């Protein structure tokens, strides 16, 4: 994850309000960790996943490094080597502990990391209470950025915990799973959109990452989007039609991965005693085929769409469709970390555009026309991830409600499956 840069907001809320916001979000992170056993904090089930302890420390480090060290002049760093351990990518790689080896560090202990967080929180509270006028705007902007950065890591924390737990033969549960709703997903239909010049990207007030800017015109042909996400049951039809064995349905790089890793179903699905189950944050549960399929790669989403005679949306198509919609849906606050069955869509517009599951688009993560990184160290590596990754839109059941917006661009490699990812079909206007 790397969208940790932003255009500075021109006007910020009062610093007192910001301090309150800071406290809330920081506490949320710790609350998310509460169901964990101490042993769970250090596990890194694969290279892309980070131990919960690392997320806790790295998010603190972000405030220490970019807010406290430059602006809180009496601040003393908690530990001289934390730069090496908890930096992710903001400095030269040579000084970073290797990402894939985060799970072998038992020290600092969880207690020491919590002390680190406490020291940072105290210093942040003091700073926000008494920041000199000349630095107010910059401190506010960086704090706000750090808050959004922490929210991103909150979602990763859930995805990573799920991955770490799912590989364990004991099948531990993070917390009791919410009951299945028993609902049926409504039949999906096409929602049509006219073509023409449309503006996408962020402009105006409100926080956004710099990758959402500048707002710019895009020419779209008429297109259509499915009224809801693809369900597990619909995806199972693809599997039963030999979807994972038909070379012609796949992108070449995807097919290579299917064969190399032996994929035959979405991540976390298991066939046991004549039925499909899925491993989730509630442990191993019977699969509800009415729920949206989740934890699939771009390659699988793309192959499924091709098999259906459809395609995935571009990010511009998605954003143009989402632009007018209320940001409503199944977010982290609902407490159910698997996508819930769609309810009937409103008469106008598609359902599940926000929340439930991130929607893979066919757009590669690339700079918008006119994109310019920030000056200074926060901007030093702007856009360094803008290659080889695909854009996802809309947020998921693990995204904090306040974190998402229509212009938000998430991105993962096309083979990634452990985030909360799903499929919305698209097509050309008939």
For a copy of itself, the binding residues in 253-272 under the rule CB under 8 A are 253-255, 259
Contact (CB, 8 A) for 269 and 259: no
Find the binding residues for a copy of itself in span 25-44 (CB under 8 A): 37-44
- Looking at beta carbons only, is 386 or 402 nearer to a copy of itself? 386
SS3 state of residue 410: strand
Helices 252-261/298-307 angle, 10° precision: 110
For residue 227, the minimal CB distance to a copy of itself (Å) is 22
211 neighbors 409 (Cβ within 8 angstroms): yes
Q: How far is the CB of 187 from a copy of itself (least distance, A)?
A: 26
**Contact with a copy of itself (CB under 8 A): which of 74, 130, 179, 252?**
252
List the one residue from 118, 125, 167, 328 that touches a copy of itself (CB under 8 A). 167
Query: Of the two residues 19 and 296, which places its CB atom closer to a copy of itself in the complex?
Result: 296
- Is the CB of residue 43 less than 8 Å from the CB of residue 103? yes
Stretch that binds a copy of itself, among 19-27, 145-153, 176-184, 243-251 (CB under 8 A): 243-251
DSSP conformation class of 415? T
Q: How many residues belong to the site for a copy of itself (CB under 8 A)? A: 72
**Least distance in Å: CB of 363 to a copy of itself?**
8
Measured CA to CA, the distance from residue 362 to residue 391 in angstroms comes to: 7
Q: Is 384 one of the binding residues for a copy of itself (CB under 8 A)?
A: yes
From candidates 182, 204, 206, 248, binder to a copy of itself by CB under 8 A: 248
Count of CB atoms within 10 A of residue 325's CB? 16
Q: Does residue 169 touch a copy of itself according to CB under 8 A?
A: yes
Q: Which of residues 323-382 bind a copy of itself (CB under 8 A)?
A: 362-364, 366-367, 369-370, 380-381
Sign for the pseudo-dihedral over CA of 105, 109, 115, 117: positive
111 CB contacts (<8 Å, ≥6 apart)?
none
CB of 158 to a copy of itself, least distance (A): 16
HSE-up of residue 226 (Cα within 13 Å, Cβ side): 23
Considering only residues 71 to 100 of the shown chain, the ones binding a copy of itself according to CB under 8 A are 79, 81, 84-85, 89, 91-93, 97
Q: Which is nearer to a copy of itself, 276 or 381 (CB)?
A: 381
Q: Of 139, 141, 142, 164, which Cα lies nearest the Cα of 55?
A: 164
**Alpha helices, DSSP H only, in 274-376?**
298-307, 315-322
């Amino acid at each position: 994850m790397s969208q940790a840069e932003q255009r500075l907001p021109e006007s910020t809320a009062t610093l007192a309000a910001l301090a309150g916001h800071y406290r809330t979000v920081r506490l949320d992170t710790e609350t998310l960790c509460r169901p964990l056993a101490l042993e769970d904090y250090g596990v890194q089930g694969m290279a892309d996943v980070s131990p919960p302890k690392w997320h806790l420390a790295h998010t603190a480090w972000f405030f220490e490094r970019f807010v406290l060290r430059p602006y809180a002049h009496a601040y003393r760093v908690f530990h001289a080597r934390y730069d090496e351990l908890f930096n992710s990518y903001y400095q030269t790689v040579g000084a970073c502990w290797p990402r894939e080896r985060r799970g072998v560090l038992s020290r600092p202990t969880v207690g020491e990391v919590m002390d680190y967080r406490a020291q940072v929180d105290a210093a942040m509270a003091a700073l926000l209470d008494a920041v000199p006028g000349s630095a107010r705007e910059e401190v506010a902007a960086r704090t706000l950025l750090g808050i959004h950065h922490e929210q991103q890591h909150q979602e990763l924390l859930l995805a990573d915990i799920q991955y770490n737990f799912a590989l364990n033969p004991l099948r531990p549960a993070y917390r009791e799973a919410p009951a299945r709703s028993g609902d049926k997903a409504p039949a999906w239909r096409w929602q049509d959109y006219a073509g023409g010049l449309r503006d996408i990207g962020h402009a105006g007030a409100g926080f956004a990452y710099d990758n959402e800017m500048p707002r710019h015109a895009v020419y779209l042909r008429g297109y259509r989007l499915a009224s809801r996400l693809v369900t597990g049951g619909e995806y199972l039809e693809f599997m039963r039609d030999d979807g994972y064995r038909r070379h012609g349905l796949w992108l070449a790089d995807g097919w290579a991965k299917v064969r190399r890793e032996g994929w035959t179903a979405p991540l976390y699905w298991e066939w046991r005693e004549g039925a499909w189950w899925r491993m989730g944050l509630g442990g191993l549960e019977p699969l509800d085929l009415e729920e949206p399929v989740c934890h699939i790669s771009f390659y699988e989403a793309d192959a499924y769409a091709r098999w259906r005679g459809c395609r995935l949306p571009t990010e511009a198509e998605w954003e143009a469709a989402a632009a007018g919609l209320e940001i409503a849906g199944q977010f982290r606050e609902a407490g159910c970390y698997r996508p819930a069955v769609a309810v009937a869509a409103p008469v106008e517009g598609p359902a599940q555009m926000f929340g439930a599951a991130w929607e893979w688009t066919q757009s590669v993560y690339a700079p918008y026309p006119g994109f310019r990184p920030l000056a200074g160290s926060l901007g030093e590596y702007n856009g360094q991830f803008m290659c080889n990754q695909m854009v996802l839109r809309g947020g998921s059941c693990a995204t904090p409600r306040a974190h998402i917006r229509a212009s938000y661009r998430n991105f993962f490699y096309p083979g990634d499956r452990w985030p909360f990812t799903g499929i919305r079909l698209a097509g050309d206007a008939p």
